Amino acid sequence: METNGATKDRAKGPKAVTRVLDLLMLLAAKPDGLTLSEVSAAMSVPKSTFLDTLRCLYENQYLLCTDGRYRLGPSSYHLASQIVTSWSAPEIIRAAVKALAIETGESVGFAIADWDIGQAIYMEAINSRHPVRYAMQVGIKAPLYASAAGRVLLAYASEQRVDSYLDHGHFRALTGQTRTDAASIRAGLRDIRAQGYCASFGEMLSDTAAIAVPVLGPKGKPLGAMMLAAPLDRMKTNYDRFLNAVTEAGRKASAG
């Protein structure tokens, strides 16, 4: 049977730290603040569990309390500012690309848009360990309209940028599946924004499929697209697993 002291010590461990971080995340989405009862209900934790925690965070200015409502305090915003300042896109993205390649065993890359030439350019690339694979290398280019990564870059670009690209672009069929009509491409971009990813089957290379997701910076600004590519048969067999893996990798590589 646990003593009160043991219980208190356990409350100060990793679980208590996680609750503090969860609390800060909760209040970050509630600019008007929450009462203790609302915090307790939202986090499914008894009110008594949070009393000492709230008091400590209040005393250290991580929280403010006005009329019984808790809000983020100046120390929380200072911490957030320090985190954003130290956020390093290249290192985080490189790590996410490597982890995704290891997890899936497929070719993975990170691309940015070169709007002057209408191409997605891969800044990070890892080849699959399978003998039959999509060949990836740093510096490889792919048309924005025909590639999964390129369409993600289009989908998350400004409306003015997309209009200019679609009005002046030349869209050649690379396979029988390639979309070459501006209206069809634009409709596909709306779908990508709605679902948060682009899945392409045989649109750039007839025997290859790819899934791409956006990678976002600290203020939600698109930094590029993370892409996983594989032969059609392996993609179809592992589609759900690959989609979940690349979506999670894109989330981890993003700042938000």
Residue 5 pLDDT class (50, 70, 90 cuts) = very low
CATH number for the domain spanning 226: value is 3.30.450.40
Q: What's the CA gap between 63 and 246, in Å, rounded?
A: 36
* 124 & 213 share domain: yes
Is residue 125 within 8 Å of residue 108, measured between CB atoms? yes
pLDDT value at 245 more than 60: yes
* 20 & 96 share domain: no
Average of per-residue pLDDT across 55-60: 90
Is residue 139 within 8 Å of residue 152, measured between CB atoms? no
CATH number for the domain spanning 73: value is 1.10.10.10
Q: What's the CA gap between 101 and 11, in Å, rounded?
A: 38
Q: What is the predicted pLDDT for the residue at 49?
A: 78
* 137 & 114 share domain: yes
pLDDT value at 9 more than 80: no
* 75 & 93 share domain: no
* 138 & 236 share domain: yes
* 43 & 96 share domain: no
* 117 & 33 share domain: no
* 129 & 235 share domain: yes
* Counted domains in the chain: 2
pLDDT value at 163 more than 60: yes
Q: What's the CA gap between 189 and 161, in Å, rounded?
A: 13
Last residue of a domain, one of 85, 109, 138: 85
Q: What is the predicted pLDDT for the residue at 88?
A: 53
Q: How many CB atoms lie within 10 A of CB 173?
A: 11
Q: What's the CA gap between 53 and 41, in Å, rounded?
A: 16
Last residue of a domain, one of 25, 60, 85: 85
Residue ranges of alpha helices (H) inside the chain are 4-11, 14-28, 36-43, 47-59, 74-86, 89-104, 148-155, 159-168, 182-195, 232-237, 239-253
Distances (CA, A) of 117 to 124, 157, 212: 19, 15, 20
Residue scoring higher pLDDT (255 or 111): 111
Q: Which of 24-33, 172-181, 203-212 has the lowest mean pLDDT?
A: 24-33
Range of the domain at 189: 87-253
Q: What is the predicted pLDDT for the residue at 79?
A: 84
pLDDT value at 240 more than 80: yes
Based on the number of CB atoms within 10 Å of its own CB, is 128 exposed (0-12), middle (13-18) or buried (19 or more)?
A: buried
pLDDT value at 218 more than 80: no
pLDDT value at 44 more than 80: yes
Closest by alpha carbon to 89, among 208, 223, 201, 195? Answer: 223
pLDDT value at 208 more than 90: yes
Which of 57-71, 160-174, 228-242 ranks highest by mean pLDDT? 228-242
* 234 & 149 share domain: yes
Average of per-residue pLDDT across 50-76: 89
* 56 & 147 share domain: no
* 64 & 139 share domain: no
Q: What is the pLDDT of residues 81-140, one digit of tens each?
A: 776 565 556 888 999 999 999 999 999 999 999 998 999 999 999 999 899 888 888 888
Last residue of a domain, one of 85, 118, 143: 85
Q: Mention every residue, 6+ apart, whose C-beta is less than 8 A from residue 191.
A: none
Q: What is the predicted pLDDT for the residue at 85?
A: 60
* 132 & 156 share domain: yes
